[in-house]
Amino acid sequence: MQKLIEAGLYGHELVAIDDPKIVGRYNTCLESAGIKPTALLSLHIDGAGWSPEVASEKGDTLYLMNGTHNQVAIVVTPNQRARPVYSPINSFDRALMDDFFSKFSDEIADLTTETGICLDLEKDFSRLESPSDLFLIDAITVRPFTAQKTIVAAQTQQTLVKKFMEEDTSWRDEELLNQLIDSAKGFGDLRSRKLFIPTWQFVHLRHFYTLAFGGVFVFRLSGKRKKDLSILVFEKKAESLKLNSDDAVYHIEDKDLLEGLEKSRLIELNMGWLKAHPAVLEEKRLFISSQAICTEYPDIRHEDISSPQRKKLLADIKAKLPPALFELERLIKKTQRGTEIVASDISDDLKKTLMRPHASLPAEYRGVVWQLLLRIDANDVVRLYAEDKNFFYEQYGTWTEARKHWAISEILEKYIKKQKTERS
């Protein structure tokens, strides 16, 4: 992981919290959510308030989960806006936090001058008995609160003020006047401040991934047949075997998974698109061959080998190269010559590499489909880092030193550099 940190590919977008007052507010939020506070004097947090240092201290990466289904998020500074979520429970966690900051940016800025904000993220289930229950989750109810009850106090005081201003006889309503005085003494004048954040719902949950039941992809489709209405794709085979359901149930390694996803118009093998983007095929070829070299030569550094040397290495391990590589090379040649290519003639192994989210999918759901495709085939390290950093970090720990170094150089060149260019 140190190489990733040094390359700016891990932790560089975390927010540093080293002010004792802010650390204290973070701890107050933890306690108000039923989580033991940290003894750390400084830490870093992501967009949802997760801290790698606190996770290490507790020995629990999912410490903000606070139980199987009781997810919370913590906001102690407006600087968390647009930051990544480094340890997501669900594929939509980043989108949910972005939505929160977009809706209530003024309130967040005002509240965090004196307190932290805790978000109780409810799925409206005390527990999930079966993976089929995931289909019943159509919204996440977000309940913001502060330990000092600042949000409640702001709402109460503003309601009292409104009543006082609107009622003709309010000046002689002693109970109302006393309530206003008590509110002012306890919390100050909150009339012109933006401190009230209501309970609201995040509803972009048609397709998502969750860590529940060992990791499940949930797809809700529209179709005439019942089996077209829902698909579950499990990461753990044992969990998939437990479910006796009319829904389409797959394990990540099922042979008919790609076909099922393709028929449901979640993914596609668009030969016309690939023909119009020949560089994509060349990149796929590079990823497959480089992984093979890194596996067989774990100490090699790609930048130190010339093109002829690379060809020699591939020739030496020809018997160990995946058949999909040779098939891809033939496909590239046919594409260059303008030869018509039929998708049905492509092997399942190569399809795993070439499949993409279906063009008809709304942009907000393509990410979760990419996450599934990258679990099926993780050769594209650049796409893996871009679409699912958490899974990338997990996979990174299993790679040879050669592949780690190569992956970092590819990401820096083809993703980070491109992002910087687009922002400039």
Q: Does a structural domain hold residue 370? A: no
- How many Cα atoms sit within 13 Å of 190 on the Cβ side? 29
User: Residue 172: pLDDT band by 50, 70, 90 thresholds?
Assistant: low
Could you give the CA distance from residue 190 to residue 149 in angstroms, rounded to a whole number? Answer: 13
Helix axes of 278-296 and 323-337: crossing angle, nearest 10 degrees: 160
Q: How many structural domains comprise the chain?
A: 4
Q: What is the pLDDT of residue 223?
A: 52
Is the same domain home to 106 and 158?
A: no
**Residue of 342, 348, 349, 367 whose CA lies nearest to 357:** 367
**Residue of 383, 375, 269, 261 whose CA lies nearest to 331:** 269
Q: Does a structural domain hold residue 144? A: yes
- Give this prediction's pTM: 0.86
Lowest mean pLDDT among 300-314, 376-390, 410-424: 410-424
Is the same domain home to 70 and 130?
A: yes
CB neighbour class for 206 (10 Å; exposed up to 12, middle 13-18, buried from 19) = middle
Is the same domain home to 145 and 62?
A: yes
Instruction: Give residue for tokens 């820096």.
Output: 412
| Displacement of CA 417 from its chain's centroid (Å) | 22
**Residue of 233, 182, 227 whose CA lies nearest to 207:** 233
Sign, Cα dihedral of 87, 101, 134, 383: negative
Q: Does a structural domain hold residue 364? A: no
CB neighbour class for 360 (10 Å; exposed up to 12, middle 13-18, buried from 19) = exposed
**pLDDT digit string, tens, across residues 237-291:** 888 877 776 678 999 999 999 999 999 999 999 988 998 999 999 999 999 999 9
Could you give the CA distance from residue 234 to residue 240 in angstroms, rounded to a whole number? Answer: 6
- Tell me which of 230, 246, 265 is where a domain ends: 265
Count CB-CB contacts under 10 A for residue 79: 14
**Residue of 353, 388, 352, 354 whose CA lies nearest to 370:** 388
Is the same domain home to 166 and 281?
A: no
Phi, psi of 362 (to 5 degrees): -60, 145
Phi, psi of 313 (to 5 degrees): -60, -45
Is the same domain home to 98 and 40?
A: yes
What is the domain range of residue 66?
A: 2-149+196-202
Residues 6 or more apart whose CB falls under 8 angstroms from that of 196 comprise 107, 151, 154, 155, 158
52 within 8 A of 44, measured Cβ to Cβ:
yes
Mean pLDDT of 31-37: 92
What is the pLDDT of the chain when averaged over all its residues? Answer: 87
Q: Does a structural domain hold residue 129? A: yes
Is the same domain home to 178 and 225?
A: no
Is the same domain home to 143 and 156?
A: no
Instruction: Please name every residue paired with 207 in a beta bridge, in sequence order, or none if there are none.
Output: 219
Could you give the CA distance from residue 120 to residue 48 in angstroms, rounded to a whole number? Answer: 12
- Tell me which of 230, 245, 265 is where a domain ends: 265
Is the same domain home to 277 and 408?
A: yes
**Residue of 364, 377, 395, 344 whose CA lies nearest to 252:** 377
Q: Does a structural domain hold residue 247? A: yes
Count CB-CB contacts under 10 A for residue 342: 7
Could you give the CA distance from residue 340 to residue 52 in angstroms, rounded to a whole number? Answer: 51
Is the same domain home to 24 and 85?
A: yes
Is the same domain home to 286 and 415?
A: yes
Is the same domain home to 140 and 157?
A: no
Q: What is the pLDDT of residue 90?
A: 93
**Which helix (H) or strand (E) covers residue 165, if one does?**
helix 150-166
CB neighbour class for 225 (10 Å; exposed up to 12, middle 13-18, buried from 19) = exposed
Q: Does a structural domain hold residue 123? A: yes
Phi, psi of 367 (to 5 degrees): -60, -45
Lowest mean pLDDT among 8-22, 81-95, 232-246, 382-396: 232-246
pLDDT above 90 covers a percentage of the chain that reads 62
**pLDDT digit string, tens, across residues 98-130:** 999 999 999 999 889 888 999 999 887 767 788
Is the same domain home to 144 and 288?
A: no
